[in-house]
Amino acid sequence: MQSITQSVQDFVNDNFLFGQGIESLGESTSFLDEGIIDSTGVLELVMFLEDSFLISVEDEELVPDNLDSIDRLVSFVERKLVELGE
Amino acid sequence: MQLESFLEQSADRHPENTALVCGDKRLTYAEFEQLANRLAYGLIQAGVQRGDRVGICLENSIEAAVSIFAVLKSGAVFMPINPTTKPDKLAYVLNNSRSSTLIATTRKLATLADAWQNLSHLETVVSVGAEFPDEMKGEMQFEDFDSLIEHNADKNAPPKKRAISVDLAALIYTSGSTGNPKGVMLTHLNMVSASTSITTYLQNQADDIILNVLPLSFDYGLYQLLMTCQFGGTLILEKSFTYPHAVLQKIVEHKATGFPLVPTISAILLQMDLSKYDFSNLRYVTNTGAALPTEHITTIREVLPHVSVFSMYGLTECKRVSYLPLDQIDIRTDSVGIAMPNTEVYIVDGNDNRLPYGEIGELVVRGANVMKGYWEAPELTNEKLKPGPLPCENVLYTGDLFRQDDEGYLYFVGRRDDIIKSRGEKVSPKEVENTLYSHPLIAEAAVVGQDDDVLGQAIRAILVVIPDAELSEREVLAYCRKNLEDYMVPKFIEFQDSLPKSANGKIDKKQLTGATA
């Protein structure tokens, strides 16, 4: 199975960077500061997380701390999977 | 009365009230006024003259708010520019307006550094943030935002007034159907009048707390700042609505009473469970930019029954036209109401004859809020401003088709041009098409609006690539991202072998919009 990091990177690259290459984006770079995500982008991101990792993202989890960089996304998904007992 | 008096009078009346909250920074009216005064002296010392155009290209921030009032206090004209504007367009706007000064972040300025020599009128640049690298300064005069304020720490009163109420206060560039943005000229009188009318029907008081996520470069966002200073309330300034939950928490935390929306925001709100938030202090929400779908209004009314919904219509050329009085929201949900206080509207046919209720025609606006025209574009101005009932008076032809019901309430019918309204902001299909045509592999491009639940209208680009070339959707989107403001980037890209043409060879957009509607 693809690693969490890899699939998150692929999603961000395909949808926010339009394939320009994830290398251009550091793992802790803020999507907000780079101007690559907006509120509809956040909704797309959440749909991707829920579908790919079978987790459910609550409204109060929609905050930059959880979602605003590759690193944060990966640790958020890991935490959610632990909560699910996987 | 000059526009900056809003801040000066509130600072005088209640200096200790909180004017602005931005992240963890907070300014009282006295502090806000003092910073604006000091920066105004700094700008004058840096050479800013009465009537100069000064570009402000900043995200929503304390610096942006202070800059707006400082420019006014210096007697100059502020020009708000969306911070996602790309270098080519920024240069166009600065050159077209012959701006003498630009205030922007160091990071943004670095993207212009290759083009200093193309900015023939720009004399001074004020950088916000880290110090600008010397080797990139070229011949340009550089000033540092914080230093300009610090150097005037002994100044506690505003500089001597240089502008009068019929001088320009702002030049706001808006998308035009020709593809190049045009500068809407607004006087102090225009803006004071518009703000007074709006705060009258919203019944704003000094205890109102407005939460604003809309960019200050967008007139709907800008007016949240101006109006708040007028009625002496508090503005919670957020950078965006990117993280809806975080924004809603701020409404709760700051006990916000007013929350301006565009349809994109309400669409997202309605996908969330709003019952989890304590919105008991929220008095009203407003909508403009594009009509709020009636389902949004009815759902907001159901979920937040104590919150007043103001459904409004306007355009940058006069700021606001109409609002729906609160007692009509459940009766005439799809109407944008009546002329706002101290303004008049009517509907005309193609020969400028006033039409009776029920008939569809172009909406005309009369009032002190109507712009002076488009900056150095007399022909475009003449299409919009035409003689009114009084000698030498101009009224505004909105370009929008409306009808009135038998009691005079207004209903939006459609636009006369092909401008797309996406996320509440105007997008010129021509401007997007020009960018697409500049791609070496694109032979033909047509850009149209497509109804979209979240965006209002989504931007759809239909492309023909040059023979034997290969181009992916991704490559096109990446190219658009690089060359267009965020809100102008198409949502949908389609490739076709050819585009439908009319008899005289022009691309037939009616067929394109009909085909997949």
- Tell me whether residues A43 and B273 touch, CB distance under 8 A: no
Q: Do A43 and B268 touch (CB under 8 A)?
A: yes
Give the pLDDT of residue A86.
57
Q: How many CA atoms lie within 13 A of A14 on its CB side?
A: 9
Strands B25-28 and B18-22: antiparallel
Position with higher pLDDT, B131 vs A18: B131
Taking CA–CA distances from B247, the nearest residue in chain A reads A63
Determine the 3-state secondary structure of B406 from DSSP.
Answer: coil
Report how far Cα A86 is from the mean position of its chain's Cα atoms.
Answer: 19
The closest alpha carbon to A41, from A5, A14, A3, belongs to A14
**Residue where the block lists tokens 């960089």:** A69
**Residue in this structure with the two tokens 């401003």, named with its chain if needed:** B385
Phi, then psi, of B444 in degrees rounded to 5:
-140, 145
CA A72 to mean position of chain CA atoms: 8
CA angle (B371 as vertex; B369, B372 as ends), nearest 5? 130
ipTM of the complex: 0.77
A42 vs B242, B276, B455: nearest CB: B242
Distance, in Å, from the CA atom of B362 to the CA atom of B352, rounded to the nearest integer, reads 9
A35 in contact with chain B, both atoms CB, cutoff 8 A: yes
Q: Does B497 touch chain A (CB under 8 A)?
A: no
The answer to whether A62 contacts chain B (CB < 8 Å) is yes
Chain B contact for A21, CB < 8 A? no
Residues B213, B216: Cα–Cα separation, whole Å = 9
Tell me the three state secondary structure of residue B176.
coil
- B196 to chain A, closest Cα gap in Å: 32
Set of chain A residues whose Cβ sits within 8 Å of the Cβ of B250 = none
pLDDT at B15: 98
Q: Is B134 helix (H, G, I), strand (E, B) or coil?
A: helix
What pLDDT was estimated at residue A38? 79
Residue A64 in contact with partner chain B when CB distance is under 8 A: yes
Q: What pLDDT does B515 receive?
A: 46
Separation CA B483–CA A18 (nearest Å): 14
| pLDDT score at B64 | 98
More confident position, B362 or A15 = B362
Question: Which pLDDT value is given to residue B517?
Answer: 34
pLDDT at position A41 is 82
Are B491 and A44 in contact, with CB atoms under 8 Å apart? Answer: no
Report mean pLDDT in 10-residue bins for chain B, 517 residues. Answer: 97 98 96 98 98 97 98 98 90 97 93 85 94 87 96 96 97 84 97 98 98 95 98 96 92 98 86 91 90 84 95 95 96 94 96 94 97 97 96 95 95 82 83 89 90 83 90 89 87 90 76 61
Angle at A68 between CA A67 and CA A73, to 5 degrees: 40
pTM for this prediction: 0.88
